[in-house]
Structure 1
Amino acid sequence: MYQSKIVAQAGTEGSSAPSGHDPALPQQFTIFTVQGETFAVSLTEVKEIIRMPEVVRVPLAPPSLEGLTNLRGTVLPIVNTRALFGSERVAADDATRVVVLDQGHPIGIVVDRVVSVVTIDPERIESAHGVETTLSSELLRGVIKDQGDLGLVMILEAARLIEQEFALLALAQGSHANLFADSTSAMANLRAADASQDEIQLVSFEVAGQEYALPIHSVREIVQLPENVTKVPKAAPSVMGVISLRDRLLPVVSLRRLFGLPSAERADHNRVAVVSVNNGALIVGVVLDRVNEVLRVRRGAIDSMPAMLAAQDDLAEISSICRLDNGKRLVSILSAEAMFDRPAITSALEGALEAAGADMAVQNQVETRSVGSAHHEEEQFVVFRLMDEEFGVEIASVQEIVRVPSELAKVPKTENFIRGVMNLRGSVIPLIDQRARFGLPAIEANDRQRIVVFTLGGVQTGFIVDSVSEVMRIRRDRIKPAPDLSENQRRVIRRVANLPEAKRMILLLDADRLLDAGQMAEVVQAAA
């Protein structure tokens, strides 16, 4: 990203001067244009000027917010100045710039063109009162007259302009409590829930058209299959090679090869399940054709493998069979402990480390020894998509993830975001269209859509999303408080995962706050 750095200098104080600056001394301003008019902000308020970056759109935010972007590890809100002024947006071009202001917290404003940085004598700055401009004089610090070809230059009261649209930003600095104070391991919560209920959670997936599942406590995360997998010489046939996952080498096993099934071309829906064997003694990536659902199944619906089949060595990986949909759907549950040839996996990893060099070997050994402590510095999320943006919810809050039924029972006289109800193993589940809830355009129903089921206020509630992409662990130092841009947004989107190395920004939702009290009453009525 091109960046034109501006070093701010000490300012001056006065009706038209920044705080702390002597009004009798010259002042420096950054001059820019918006919709043919010329504006200025004090150079002391400008951190830097950058080209228009790619942004992550934020639902429930004020209309003038373009979105959020990453600026060297900082989550930066980008505001469209034309929209702030009540004008029509235009597409960014080569002249478009973002002026990053320091308002106690960085915020970027989109301008049509940056003209220059100028030094102005105080006698050339006049009050904005009585001057005919397109903006209220309350939003102007003053005007600069006779600025050559630029004509009248309006000095913006940037802080007041931003606060007028984003009132919560004025309270943002210092208002964030430690959001992690009461946080506990998501997987620990899931294990405790499994132990206390007569149910088990399973991650179901497909391999060559057959459905399998792993207990969720065996799955550390699910990530996309990278385009390049480093092959390891003399590795076992089932070992595809190794990949780098957060600077650690991860051995990758193909289930197709392991099960003696025909190979298939790599596809976008392929995933790698990062599987923990023997409580983390061995971590292996398992390549799946596609991930289907996260299921919550009664233990009574799970049968042990028939003795005749269990005695066969080529079926040793299957520990039990799950019966769903009144026995019409059978899912083979795999045992992580029985799936892998540990010597073969260890040999592949050692071969990769040897090829990578001693330094990498030492690094991997150190990280392997510290995996237990690192686990407590991470949080685990289910990541899903709406339009082009990624959202995450803590995995401990997710009851299950299921497909959208072909037919939904409509509920009359309900809010437009309530799509209807469905039957989930005998329970009536109200369904929320998350696109409608966030004010996003509707799409046609398709096979990629999923229902993420939460329990809200004691009511099981499903939220329809465009797709569920992965289950991932995110280091806590990459999770930051979300900028407070509106009351609705602040209630639902509390945090942001900023992953600059992957060029990703994930908006983290608070599942308990997805619906307000009035909306929750509607949902309870729909489920009744």
Structure 2
Amino acid sequence: MPEILEDAGAASSLQFLTFRIDGRRYALPAHEVAVIIRVPPMSRVPQSPPALLGITNLGGAVLPVVSLRGLLGIEETQARASTRAVVLDIGSNVALVVDAVDSLIEISPERIESHQSELGMETGEKLKGTFLTGAEGEAAKILDIKGLLDTAFAKRASAAHRTARTVMAGTVAVVEEVKTAHEMLLTFEVAGQEFALDLTDVQEIIPAPKARTAIPKTETLVLGVTALRGTLLPLLSLRGLLGFPTAAKAASREKVVVLNVNGAQVGLVADAARAIVAAETHLVDPIPGVLASRAGGESRIRAIYRGDAGKRLISILAPEQLFREDVMQRLRAHHQRGESQLTAQAPAAEDNENFLIFQLGGDEFALPIDAVEEIAALPAQITRIPKTPKFLEGVVNLRGAVLPVIDLGRRFDMPLSTQAKGRRLVVVRTERRRAGLIVDGVSDVLRTSEAAIRGAPDLTDDIARLVSGVINLDASGRIVLVLSPPELLTRAERGILDKFQADQGRVVE
């Protein structure tokens, strides 16, 4: 439980919270302290100043967590049992991690020494005063915490924030133009075969829940229901819908593809998620008539995509044909009455945004789905280009076009990943550039409301440019940083990718 500080004491006295860092005793005015908690779980912010340990979810709010050791230039140590986070209310909330909290004490104003020559400041400190405590007269230094934070973190100007949002809006518009020659497909595995749905039909992808509530007297293709953000989501087996034998037991890689069918949400359980693919429209063929006339699983297929020069055939499903007419009528009736216990009406499209969720070094990040062109397997060979930044792995030939490849782990100065399995290449396009981003894994397509997206931590210009927002998922306790695609491609060496684009014909034959 948090330790709540209460106002007390005479008006003639001043209250201070005292705490320890590396044997030193510091103090802050009690009115600047909101609550004291144990150090919470955090999500790291890429390319942030060393003092910023990460951000956390506290009471539904996104809170930066800052190390006082880092602010003072003192070497970090492992957290101990006494380590606490002091949540400050100094215009904007921030959690300050200290080695130990001492006590809440009252001091008369005349006991505070504020002459700079008498404060005994050490390197890195910013002080407002000092006072002596206890019988032994130990000194407690009153920190100028705002001064320390301002030194470590350059505040973001509102104009910079508006610019970042404008860039994001511009990115979406340009990608929409690019997508006219492609169909964006979400592909997944069912019984060893690759199927797909148009990405515009998909609301989100979530891991298959471990707990499912079975429904008595239902068909085997109805796996049960699960809770999804306060609603009940019916789970249907894609194996059953497509006429494949039911699996003996649930696989750990199972994913739930959430669709909206006639205003009701339905979760389709696939064996595994595969990729997001930009399918060239001229390579998407209608299903042959002989298959379309059959009554089996093929009748659920509307088209076939011939990827990788015909070596990869992906069957594209038609959502409206997945369900029998009686099931469709039942769903329509549920929607019209608005009384279904199994489904919930989907939020209005204009109030929601879709994001691709991926992993780097154990943390989750997001990209607007409109900026993602496709997700591909990591190429076995990447051509290295001399005299380029370390995060630029090189270039690959992706379907006849030169694509620069960026290792996001290196880009964010993270430790080198030893993970080989599951790494993916996320192809992103912005207004002027196209690049492949190496990530440790791709997990979900998340559909979330605008209300769940908060502003980025208001700390530095670097963070303001790179992080366009934070998705705060209270129910699961997750915090996901939304990255700005243009900044991923241009922050370190802005001219390099432009040079690649101009010289691509000479780099890869």
TM-score (norm 2): 0.89
Report what 2:382 is aligned to: 408
Report what 1:448 is aligned to: 422
Matched, 1:42 2:18: no
Query: Which amino acid in the other structure matches residue 475 of structure 1?
Result: S
Report what 2:255 is aligned to: 271
Task: State which of 221, 225, 250 in structure 2 corresponds to 1:238.
Answer: 221
- After superposition, the CA RMSD in angstroms is 3.1
SS at match of 1:489: helix
Matched, 1:468 2:452: no
The structural deviation recorded for 1:494 is 2.0
CA distance in 1, matches of 2:450, 2:245: 39
CA distance in 1, matches of 2:347, 2:139: 63
Per-residue CA distance 1:339-360 (angstroms, 9 max, x = gap): 1125347769999x9xxxx9x9
In the alignment, is the contact (CA less than 8 A) between 2:132 and 2:140 conserved in 1? Answer: yes
CA distance in 1, matches of 2:9, 2:54: 31
Q: Equivalent residues in 2 for 1:16-35 (5 A)? A: 25-35=12-22
Query: Which amino acid in the other structure matches residue 270 of structure 1?
Result: E
CA distance in 2, matches of 1:81, 1:138: 10
Q: Equivalent residues in 2 for 1:143-154 (5 A)? A: 143-149=130-136, 151-154=138-141
Per-residue CA distance 1:121-169 (angstroms, 9 max, x = gap): 1221112523464535971111112433571111111111111111216
Report what 1:217 is aligned to: 200
SS at match of 1:514: helix
Per-residue CA distance 1:411-458 (angstroms, 9 max, x = gap): 121111111111222111111101111111111362311111122343
Report what 2:461 is aligned to: 487
Matched, 1:117 2:101: no
CA distance in 1, matches of 2:172, 2:384: 35
Task: State which of 365, 369, 384 in structure 2 corresponds to 1:391.
Answer: 365
The structural deviation recorded for 1:486 is 2.3
In the alignment, is the contact (CA less than 8 A) between 2:189 and 2:271 conserved in 1? Answer: yes
Query: Which amino acid in the other structure matches residue 436 of structure 2?
Result: G
The structural deviation recorded for 1:175 is 8.2
Report what 2:92 is aligned to: 105
Query: Which amino acid in the other structure matches residue 87 of structure 2?
Result: V
SS at match of 1:197: helix
Matched, 1:303 2:308: no
CA distance in 2, matches of 1:340, 1:53: 45
Report what 2:271 is aligned to: 289
Report the CA distance shift for 1:441/1:345 in structure 2 as closer, same or farther (over 3 A): farther
Report what 1:17 is aligned to: none
CA distance in 2, matches of 1:228, 1:323: 37
Report the CA distance shift for 1:165/1:183 in structure 2 as closer, same or farther (over 3 A): closer
Report what 1:206 is aligned to: 189
The structural deviation recorded for 1:272 is 0.6
Report the CA distance shift for 1:508/1:10 in structure 2 as closer, same or farther (over 3 A): farther
Q: Equivalent residues in 2 for 1:275-424 (5 A)? A: 275-277=259-261, 280-314=262-296, 315-344=298-327, 361=339, 368=345, 371=346, 373=348, 375-424=349-398
Report the CA distance shift for 1:434/1:83 in structure 2 as closer, same or farther (over 3 A): same
CA distance in 2, matches of 1:302, 1:296: 11
SS at match of 2:493: helix
SS at match of 2:47: coil
CA distance in 2, matches of 1:498, 1:507: 9
Query: Which amino acid in the other structure matches residue 263 of structure 1?
Result: A
CA distance in 1, matches of 2:155, 2:405: 31
SS at match of 2:402: strand
In the alignment, is the contact (CA less than 8 A) between 2:395 and 2:403 conserved in 1? Answer: yes
Q: How many residues align?
A: 499
The structural deviation recorded for 1:65 is 0.8
SS at match of 1:428: strand
Query: Which amino acid in the other structure matches residue 273 of structure 2?
Result: V
CA distance in 2, matches of 1:148, 1:79: 33
Report what 1:438 is aligned to: 412
Query: Which amino acid in the other structure matches residue 168 of structure 1?
Result: K
The structural deviation recorded for 1:498 is 1.1
CA distance in 1, matches of 2:321, 2:161: 46
The structural deviation recorded for 1:459 is 2.6
SS at match of 1:399: strand
In the alignment, is the contact (CA less than 8 A) between 1:385 and 1:469 conserved in 2? Answer: yes
The structural deviation recorded for 1:238 is 1.0
In the alignment, is the contact (CA less than 8 A) between 1:276 and 1:336 conserved in 2? Answer: no
SS at match of 1:148: coil
SS at match of 2:239: helix
Report what 1:127 is aligned to: 114
Percent of pairs with identical residues: 34
The structural deviation recorded for 1:257 is 2.5
CA distance in 2, matches of 1:9, 1:189: 58
In the alignment, is the contact (CA less than 8 A) between 1:383 and 1:470 conserved in 2? Answer: yes
Report what 1:3 is aligned to: 2
Report what 1:504 is aligned to: 478
CA distance in 2, matches of 1:212, 1:445: 27
Per-residue CA distance 1:322-351 (angstroms, 9 max, x = gap): 111221111111111111125347769999
Report the CA distance shift for 1:437/1:264 in structure 2 as closer, same or farther (over 3 A): farther
SS at match of 2:464: helix
The structural deviation recorded for 1:299 is 1.8
In the alignment, is the contact (CA less than 8 A) between 2:154 and 2:461 conserved in 1? Answer: no
CA distance in 2, matches of 1:151, 1:139: 19
Report what 1:140 is aligned to: 127
SS at match of 1:249: strand
CA distance in 2, matches of 1:264, 1:363: 28
Report the CA distance shift for 1:224/1:275 in structure 2 as closer, same or farther (over 3 A): same
Query: Which amino acid in the other structure matches residue 118 of structure 1?
Result: I
SS at match of 2:219: coil
SS at match of 1:130: helix
Query: Which amino acid in the other structure matches residue 266 of structure 2?
Result: V
CA distance in 1, matches of 2:342, 2:230: 8
Report what 1:19 is aligned to: none
CA distance in 2, matches of 1:112, 1:119: 22
TM-score (norm 1): 0.86
Report what 2:147 is aligned to: 160
Report what 2:53 is aligned to: 66
Query: Which amino acid in the other structure matches residue 256 of structure 2?
Result: V
Report the CA distance shift for 1:10/1:476 in structure 2 as closer, same or farther (over 3 A): farther
Query: Which amino acid in the other structure matches residue 375 of structure 2?
Result: I
Task: State which of 513, 519, 528 in structure 1 corresponds to 2:493.
Answer: 519
Report the CA distance shift for 1:180/1:438 in structure 2 as closer, same or farther (over 3 A): closer
CA distance in 2, matches of 1:140, 1:287: 59
Per-residue CA distance 1:385-417 (angstroms, 9 max, x = gap): 111111111111111111111111111211111
SS at match of 1:276: strand
